A and B are shown apart, each in its own frame.
Chain A
C-alpha cells in the first residue's frame, strides 16, 4: 500500500476486555515495529519483527501483551484483560530491512482508551 495503515484509529474499551490492534505495513518491508506512547511521553519500544519472526520481545510490558505477524505482512498486537495503564497511542512502523539502517515509516497509530 501507499503507507503504513493501522486500525482502528481509536478504540475505547472496558477494563478487563481484550483488544486487537492491526498494522498493515508497506508492501515489501521486512521489518515491523510496535511502539507505545503515553500522553506527552516518548516512544516505548514493544516488539519488532524481521519477517514473521520476533527476535526481540523484550519491550512487551507483561504477559498480557502479545503480537504476531503473518505472511511477512499484517501484524496484530493483542492486549488481554486490559488495564487503565494500557491507555496510550500504539504506533506501528515498517522499514525495508533492519540490517541496513533504513528509515522507518509510521502509521497514524491507534489511540486506546481503557475505561
Chain B
C-alpha cells in the first residue's frame, strides 16, 4: 500500500498564482522528498527535507514538514505554464535499509 497520499488529486490554476500541494504519510520517516513527473515517464527530484527540518526553500519552491501531523506541503509560487506536471511526495522509510515510498500524486495544470 502507498505510504503517502497527496491532496488534492488534481489542481487547476492560472499562471502567476501559487499552487499548494499536501502530502500525508503513515509511518515515521527519515526524510521526505518531492518529485515532478511530466508525461507519465521519468521523475525529476525537486527537493529533500530531513525529518529534523521544518522548512526548506529552493527557487520558487517551498516545502514544509510537520512530523507531529505526519504531513508535508509543497508550495510553488508565481506558477508558470511549464509547471504543469504531476507532483509526488516520497518518504524515506527505514526498514533496516531505507526504502523510498511514493504517494499517489497531484496533477497540476497551470493555464496561461
Interface residues of A (CB under 8 A from B): 4, 31, 33, 35, 37, 39, 41-45, 48, 50, 55-56, 89, 91, 93, 95, 98-99, 101, 103-109
Please pick, from A35, A41, A45, A50, the residue contacting B97 in the complex, using a CB distance under 8 A: A50
Q: Are B42 and A109 in contact, with the CB atoms below 8 A? A: yes
Please pick, from A42, A44, A106, the residue contacting B42 in the complex, using a CB distance under 8 A: A106
Task: Tell me the complex Cα distance, A108–B35, Å.
Answer: 14
Please pick, from B48, B50, B95, the residue contacting A56 in the complex, using a CB distance under 8 A: B95
Number of A-B contacts defined by CB within 8 Å: 71
Q: Are A101 and B42 in contact, with the CB atoms below 8 A? A: no
Sorting the interface of chain B by its residue count into under 10, 10 to 19, 20 to 34 or 35 or more gives 20 to 34
Task: Tell me the complex Cα distance, A99–B30, Å.
Answer: 9
Within 8 A of A (CB), among B52-111: 88, 90, 92, 95-105
Interface residues of B (CB under 8 A from A): 2, 30-31, 33, 35, 40-45, 48, 50, 88, 90, 92, 95-105
Please pick, from B44, B98, B99, B104, the residue contacting A106 in the complex, using a CB distance under 8 A: B44
Q: Are A106 and B43 in contact, with the CB atoms below 8 A? A: yes
Pairs of residues from A and B, 5 with the lowest C-beta to C-beta distance, nearest first:
A43-B102, A42-B104, A103-B45, A101-B31, A106-B42
